[in-house]
Structures are given as C-alpha cells and as structure tokens.
Amino acid sequence: MTHAPGTTHAPVTTHAPVTTTDKPRLLVIGNGMVGHYCLEQLVERGAHHRYAITVFGEERHRAYDRVHLSDYFTGSDADALALGEADFCARHGIDLRLGEAVTSIDRTARNVATDRGLHDFDQLILATGSYPFVPPIPTPETDDGGHARLVYRTLDDLDRIREAALSLEDREIRRGVVVGGGLLGLEAANALKSLGLEAHVVEFAPRLMPVQLDAEGGEALKCQIEALGVQVHLARATSGIVTGDTHRYRMNFADNEWLETDMIVFSAGIRPQDRLARDCGLEIGERGGIVIDDTCHTSDPDIFAIGECALWSGQVFGLVAPGYTMARTVAGCLVDSGEPFSGADMSTKLKLLGVDVGSIGDAHAATEGAVSYRFIDEAGHGYRRLVVSGDGKRALGAVLVGDNSYYDTLLQYVQNGIALPADPASLILPQGEGAPLLGADALPESATICSCHNVSKGAVCQAVDAGCTDLGALKGETKASTGCGGCTALLKQVFEHELESRGVEVDRSLCEHFAYTRQELYGLIRVEGIQSFEALHARHGKGRLGCDICKPAVASILASCWNAPITNPSLVPLQDTNDTFMANMQKNGTYSVVPRIPGGEITPDKLIAIGAVAKKYDLYTKITGGQRIDLFGAQLHELPEIWGELIAAGFETGHAYGKSTRTVKSCVGNTWCRYGVQDSVAMALTIENRYKGLRSPHKLKFAVSGCTRECAEAQSKDIGVIATEHGWNLYVCGNGGMRPRHGELFATDLDDTELLRIIDRLLMFYIRTADRLQRTSVWRENLDGGLDYLKAVILEDSLGLGHELEAQMQHVVDQYECEWANALKDPDKLKRFRTFVNDKRSDPDIIAVSERDQPRPARPEEIDALAVEVTS
C-alpha cells in the first residue's frame, strides 16, 4: 500500500513475538540509515540468533533514504524512500518500535526508558544521528506557524515545508529562503523551487559548500546554481528576523542589507545528537559528540556509538559511508572480532539542482608541498582541480564542478596510489569524447569501488566467479551502489570488464531504469509513437522515474523523432541548463546568444541588426570558428527581448546550446573565388536550412568547400562536402577537438539530390543506432564491418531502410520551428526567464569590466577592488 507524499498514515511498527529468552539483550537506539544498516550487518553475521534485538525509532516512519530526501517533493513517498523490505525486522525476529523515543539511559540499572516503559540491555548501540543547528536568531513573536524556523532533515520536516508553501498559494509572489549553502542547504533550495517558490540561499561563508570546494569551485557552482533560478547571497550573517513589508518576514543582515521572504528553512549545519549519552555520563567531546575508540566503544564497555552522533579521534563524520563502516565494525565486535574503525574517506560525488559536484581527498591542498593543476571552463562554468604531491608522483585530491565524469578515475588514483601519467594535467583536461577512463584492469583487487558499503574490486570479481551476471543482482549481493549511488558508473565498468574477460555476454542496458540500449529505446519510441518520457517509463521502464543518464538520452531521442520544441513541458525537466534556457550559460551567470547564420552568409542589414542588439544590451561580441557571431553577457530576463529583436531582423536560433546541428561552414565558392568549381555557399545554405534543429546523440558540424583547396576544412567535420568539376565528394565522421579525426571519403561526384539523400540516410541511421553522447567518429569506429558496412547500408540499401530513413528525416525537416520563436509565443514558457520573479531589474551580483572596448566578467580580485572603491 502506498501513500501520497505528505499524507498522514499510521506508523508500521513490527514487534517480534514476546517470548522468554536467555539471549543477551541488544538494544539499538536510532532507526536512520546507519541504524538500519547496522541491523542488516548484524543479521548478515547471524547476531539475531545470538541476541534478542530491539530497535527504537523516534520517527513514525521506518528507516528511509535521507540521501535522496528531495525526491519526496517530486513524486516519491515514504514507502518509495524506505530502506530494505517492510518485513525485514519481523522475518529476523527483531523488535522494531517506531514512534517510540528513548528518554533516558540508566547505566547502573542497565536499562533505557521510553514513554511506554523500561527495557533492559546487555549491549547498547547508539545510532541517534544528528540534529539541524538553528542559530539563536530573534524571530517575530507573531510567528504562529513557525515558518521562520523550518528545518530540512526528516520527512516530517518536509511535510511542514510543504504545508508552509501551500499556505502561500493566495500570494502572487511566494519566496523561500534557505540559510546555509552546504549540501543539504542546496537540496533544500531545490525543494523550495520544486514547490513553486522563488528560492534564495543565504550563506555565511564567502562561497558555497566551503568544506568541499575551494574558492574557484565555489564560484563555478554559484554561477550554475543562479543560472537555474536560485539566488545566492554569500558572506551574509543574519542578525535578526522581523515582520516584513511585502513578505511575511524580513531577514536583517549584519552589513545593514536585508531580504524579505515568506518562509525560512535553516540548513546551517548539524550537531551530534548526544543528549542521551551526555545525561547518562558517557564521555562527550568538547564540542559535542560521543567519544568512541577504534572499535566504536564509548567510555562504557557495553555501549557503542555509530554514525553522526559519534566522535572518533576528534572528528564527527557527516556522510553516510563512515557511519556504515562503523556499523560493520560494531557488528563484527558483537559476533566475533570486527575490523577496527580507522577513519573514512570523505570524498563525495553529488548532483545539486542538476549540477555535478565532486570533492576527493585533500581537495584544499593542505598537504605540505602539494601542487595543483586547474582547468577552468569559463564558457560552461566548469571547474576541475587536481592536487598532487610535491614530487608529482601521487594524486592527493580533486575538486569537480560541472562534470563528474572525471570523478571515478581521479578517486581511484587518489585511493590506490596509482602512478600518475607523465602529464598529470591530462587527467582533468577535456578529452573530446568525455573524461579519461582508468581501465578496470588497471585497478588492484583491493581498490574500493563502493565506499558506502566497502565493496572492493575483488568482491565484484568474486561475485562474478560465483555466477553473478546481472548488475541488479550484483548490487543486491554486494550492496555496492545502494548507498549514495556515486559509484554506479565505475561499478558498471568493472562488472562488464570482468564479465567480458570471462567470455560472458554483457548487458548493455542504458541504465537501471531501462533494460534497453539507446538504439532499442529509439526503436520503441518510433514504433509505438511514444511522445513523452513518462509514457516510455510506464511502458518499458522500472524503478524510479529516471536518472541523469536516461532522462537527457530519452529527451534527445524524442526530439530527434518528433522534433517537438525543446521548451515543451514534457521535455524541459529532462534537459540541462543550456537547453532549458536555449542559450549557453557562462561563468558569471549570464548567457551567450548565437543566432543562426546559414553558411556564414549575412547581409549588411543583418550585421547592423546584430551590432544594434549587442550595443543595446552591452554584449561582448565574437566571431566563432563556425562563421557565426556569438553575443556574450545576456542576463536571463534579457534573453526573450534579445531573441525578439533578432527574430524581427530575420534571424532564428542557432542551436548553439543543443546536441544538434550547429554550423555549416563554407568558403565563397565559384561565385567569387577564381579556383572554385561549385557554388559552395548555396550548398551550405541548403544543407544548414535542411538540418537545422536536428537533435542527435551529439553535436553535428558540417562544412562545404568549393574546391579541393579545402578552405572550409570540410574533412574535419561530421559531414564534409568538397566540390569537384562533376559534383560533390562526401566525407563523413570526422571531428576536431581534443581527439581530432579525419573524415573518410564516402561517395564521389554526387549531384545535389544524391548528396542530400545520402546525408539524410546517414544522419538518421546515426541517430537511430548511436550510443548516448557518442560523436559520429566514435560511432563509425565502433560499427561492426566499419566503413564498408556503412556504405552498404547507406549507398546500397543493404538493410532495406533507405526510404524509411529518408521519410523520417523529411518528417523532422517538415516539423521544424524556431525554438526561440516558439517560446516567445507562450506566456507560460516565458515565466522561466526571470532573474527575479517579482522584478525585471538586472542581477546586482553580475559585474563586468571593459577590456578592448568590450565588456567581460570581472575577476574576483577586480570585484574586491570595486567593492573597496565603492566603500571608500
């Protein structure tokens, strides 16, 4: 039986049969993630046969996944988030008491008290976790609803946040503020945003996630978060909360600034839940936390402490993986002898509001002599930092913002002391087709694949040797990737490598939600006429409603098949920031706008129009490598206005933000050039206007050269066309970038009609059969039979698909509509383009300076200097 999120239902408490027993009595206080995992470890080791186990949970819900707590606002209920099977405790004779809080511990009498009675113990495990810290900030006495002191910690907390949001439905503008810019704070901001509120984050530190990120990483994250519509206020100390004028509250900051809001959620850190231990006289750390030794014993030899309530070697661990390690230690101690707890790796891989964030090892280069390599992607607000030892032989740590595909490889270098390549920077530089992968065969057997459950590569190999050939079964057997989920990609890579090395056919499922390849999903969508992700998941999916792998892949397929505007409500939630706002997000939170200039041909009037727009909105202007003009520095609320003026001048979107047709580069051809043998500009215009808007697994670039002098560099493009005296030569599957590949000659001396027919077939066959995020060059290299096979399919129609591929392409061409123009016609879509929900003013945190007579983003030191100047 399931319940809608937020509904009230009776707690499910499972009591084991009350029988007289001579077994020692083991009590567990706390039924959170760590407490539940401890029970699983006790059962796995047979401790439930040796002990009479009773578990007390203060909450009415059985243990649930706090890592994915925000899913509660996007369709998951308490049952969907619950850990393990509902009858786990009953099946193993464990007395589970939900909604029954322990109020005191009597160490002399060896019992604990609840509001329902006394319970004796021989051994006691404290897994009481932590509680959210709420600073002692004065709030209005009239705050009857408590909307100024909400917290984001439990399902009940989330119910209160939802109720607070619903109470504001009669307001035109609803605003929510989260105090705290750490992991949970950003998750809370995402929750407010999902409830339809204008979300703000107030952080005391000068950057977001100050524990995990350095200054540059924090700035990159801020830009990406703000681009998603969440306002960030850094270095703000809240001195008081009073009644507001236009909103329910006004938050006054120490610098005499203020912010009005309708609700305030505190996520300003956690504190160990150590009251029970403190009251019964257990040793407590100076700043809180139950002191434990390497076996997780407290100062009482019969009492253990695990998870966020425990203080080991002066440190409280705020991640789930260290708590799981402690649980394994305790379970071992209670049965035979456990591995001592020796600390934990605090590396973490996250996705916050859709933005990848990773922190590994010594991310702040605190090790003496450490040296850092940094890669900064100003255009995409990406940031990567690799910290290595002074001798350059060992990786010590890393910071990632914007692209976690590098995470698994870097983590293995750090954790296993793998020798660095001659140029360590190559590990964080763009690789053309994605991050460098450390081959599974390069990892030692001791390499940790899953930190949460301490699963090594050796354990994966043992599971495969025992006959495990299914990834889901492997997860069930080893528990790998069932904690935070950050190791999913690496686990899949190692698992498939081990299967293949044993001659076992590998399951190539797109992800755990679809037991199909991208190619198979494409076929299902085409054949069944599926128009939405939800419909596809309902018919052919499993588990939760998608992930970061399948959502954008399916969105691309849907767009490729039906060419529906990417701004349609069914597609927007599946897309990344650039597609969502139809512009490329830049490092300072602004966007770049690229109008289409087919073939690079443009009239003086259109040049003037672009210049007028750039001058009016103070945009940095740059000619691109694809013969277009890029306009940088547009704020979110300015995008529709800019598009409107460009469309009025005859332009349309250039799709510079999408995995789609980008540009068709051309030389001037025989119209002007004395060497040209064909009109390359006319052909470039024909090709670009035919394939504009075509969505594909990866971006597509074309070029047309008017002679063999190749001024348009056609042989380095996905589709390259070179004029001959008898027609056109076609080159395919080339690309530039970090891994350039020369295109291959595919057909010669084609007339105009033949050329377009072959390109139609080839592109649609690529879209139909390529893997997700696979460029044409890699697709071609992976085709069985190579170029000869591709020629047979496209030129000789060996599969009998020719007419079908041509018809599919014609459908896409016929359905084309400029996405900018589509958004401008729809008031609901335009609501997304606001820096501030209730105000059209510019973002005051975006600061530009002039360089070479054009604006550019101010650097941190320039911003500091401007602030000093204004203050003076």
Confidence band for 576, pLDDT divided at 50, 70 and 90: low
CB atoms near residue 679 (< 10 Å): 18
Alpha carbons 768 and 766: distance in angstroms, whole number: 5
The yes-or-no verdict on residue 329 having pLDDT over 80 is yes
pLDDT tens string 462-478: 888 888 877 777 887 88
Confidence band for 872, pLDDT divided at 50, 70 and 90: low
Task: Output the pLDDT for position 253.
Answer: 92
Task: Output the pLDDT for position 795.
Answer: 96
Task: Output the pLDDT for position 10.
Answer: 39
| 59-63, 75-79, 674-678, 829-833: range with lowest mean pLDDT | 75-79
Percent of the chain with pLDDT over 90: 42
Residues of the chain by 3-state class (helix, strand, coil), percent to 5: 35, 20, 45
Single-letter amino acid code for the residue at 70: S
- DSSP β-bridge partners for residue 777: none
> Is residue 324 within 8 Å of residue 483, measured between CB atoms?
yes
Percent of the chain with pLDDT over 70: 91
Task: Output the pLDDT for position 388.
Answer: 95
pLDDT tens string 786-829: 888 999 999 999 999 999 999 999 999 998 999 899 889 988 88
Tell me what the mean pLDDT of segment 634-663 comes to. 91
The yes-or-no verdict on residue 9 having pLDDT over 70 is no
Task: Output the pLDDT for position 106.
Answer: 96
Q: Supply 574's token pair.
A: 């599946």
pLDDT tens string 354-380: 788 999 999 999 999 999 999 998 877
Alpha carbons 699 and 701: distance in angstroms, whole number: 7
Task: Output the pLDDT for position 473.
Answer: 79
pLDDT tens string 284-321: 999 999 999 999 999 999 999 999 999 999 999 988 88
| 495-499, 582-586, 618-622: range with lowest mean pLDDT | 582-586
- DSSP β-bridge partners for residue 642: none
Confidence band for 17, pLDDT divided at 50, 70 and 90: very low
Alpha carbons 15 and 11: distance in angstroms, whole number: 12
The residues near 784 (Cβ < 8 Å, ≥ 6 apart) are: none
Report which of 672, 670, 678, 704 is spatially closest to residue 598, judged by C-alpha positions: 704
- What is the CA 43 to chain-centroid distance, rounded? 34
The residues near 391 (Cβ < 8 Å, ≥ 6 apart) are: none
Averaging pLDDT over each range in 20-24, 618-622, 623-627, 699-703, which range is the top one?
699-703
Averaging pLDDT over each range in 339-343, 492-496, 508-512, which range is the top one?
339-343
- More confident call, 35 vs 635: 35
Task: Output the pLDDT for position 6.
Answer: 38
Sole residue written with tokens 């299902």: 524
| 190-204, 433-447, 644-658, 841-855: range with lowest mean pLDDT | 433-447
Task: Tell me, letter by letter, the H, E, C secondary structure of 350-364.
Answer: EEECCEEEEEEECCC
Report strand pairing: 249-253 vs 258-261: antiparallel
The yes-or-no verdict on residue 572 having pLDDT over 90 is no
Tell me what the mean pLDDT of segment 16-37 comes to. 81
Sole residue written with tokens 């050039």: 673
Q: Which helix (H) or strand (E) holds 431?
A: none
Confidence band for 250, pLDDT divided at 50, 70 and 90: very high
Q: Kindly report the CA angle at 706 between 704 and 707, in degrees rounded to 5?
A: 120
Task: Output the pLDDT for position 16.
Answer: 45
Task: Output the pLDDT for position 211.
Answer: 85
Query: Where do the H-state alpha helices sit in 339-417?
Result: 407-416
Query: Where do the H-state alpha helices sit in 228-337?
Result: 275-279, 320-335
Task: Output the pLDDT for position 836.
Answer: 64
Task: Output the pLDDT for position 171.
Answer: 77
Sign of CA dihedral 830, 832, 835, 840: positive
Task: Output the pLDDT for position 394.
Answer: 92
> Is residue 712 within 8 Å of residue 719, measured between CB atoms?
no
The residues near 380 (Cβ < 8 Å, ≥ 6 apart) are: 402, 584, 585, 586
Tell me what the mean pLDDT of segment 565-573 comes to. 61
- More confident call, 464 vs 17: 464
Task: Output the pLDDT for position 69.
Answer: 78
As a whole number, the mean pLDDT across the chain is 86
Task: Output the pLDDT for position 2.
Answer: 34
Tell me what the mean pLDDT of segment 513-537 comes to. 88
The yes-or-no verdict on residue 332 having pLDDT over 70 is yes
CB atoms near residue 367 (< 10 Å): 16
- Distance spanning both ends of the chain, measured CA to CA: 65
Tell me what the mean pLDDT of segment 52-60 comes to. 94
Confidence band for 569, pLDDT divided at 50, 70 and 90: low
The yes-or-no verdict on residue 242 having pLDDT over 70 is yes
Task: Output the pLDDT for position 868.
Answer: 58
Confidence band for 845, pLDDT divided at 50, 70 and 90: confident
Task: Output the pLDDT for position 349.
Answer: 81
> Is residue 706 within 8 Å of residue 729, measured between CB atoms?
no
